[in-house]
Amino acid sequence: MAAKLSKAKRPKRRWIGLSFPSSIRSRGDVEELIKQLFSEDIHFRLYDAHFHGSDVAKASCEFQSIKDDIGVGIICVNLVDYDAVREMLSKSSTNGRMNSLSSSGKIRLVRQRLGLPKPKKK
């Protein structure tokens, strides 16, 4: 078994908090929309997804003073892809599909800025 990479040698990541339309009702739908926006060489992972109408999404919108009916989520991308992802999300926000709300190198800070609770351990 190979030795675990030290923290300094692991790929750097960025977490992006985003909003998506109220018509999206499952994690699969969110991932499909993201795949449509991003090029194939950009890898992402969906961490949190709270859909329109859920208590968490309502609380997050109220926390951020957003009046639209949206869902919120968090994705993780590699740092090398970060600028390209932000550009794609800014183009997407003009047609009302997906919008970047916050980003950070720490998922804790993105959750805090969006007003999202830390998920419970299983």
CATH code: domain of residue 78: 3.30.70.380
Summarize pLDDT for 66-101 with one digit per residue, the tens.
888 888 999 999 999 999 888 888 876 656 678 888
Of 35, 28, 19, the C-alpha closest to 99 is 19
pLDDT computed for residue 41 by the predictor: 86
Domain membership flag for residue 3 = no
- C-beta of residue 71 within 8 angstroms of C-beta of residue 22: yes
Domain membership flag for residue 48 = yes
Domain membership flag for residue 6 = no
Summarize pLDDT for 8-63 with one digit per residue, the tens.
888 889 999 998 888 888 889 888 888 888 878 888 999 989 998 888 888 888 88
Tally of domains in the chain: 1
The contacts of residue 57 (CB under 8 Å, 6+ apart) are 50, 51, 70, 71, 72
> Whole domain around residue 25: which residue ranges?
11-114
Give pTM, 2 decimals: 0.85
Domain membership flag for residue 67 = yes
Hey, is 61 helix, strand or coil?
A: helix
Domain membership flag for residue 120 = no
pLDDT computed for residue 66 by the predictor: 83
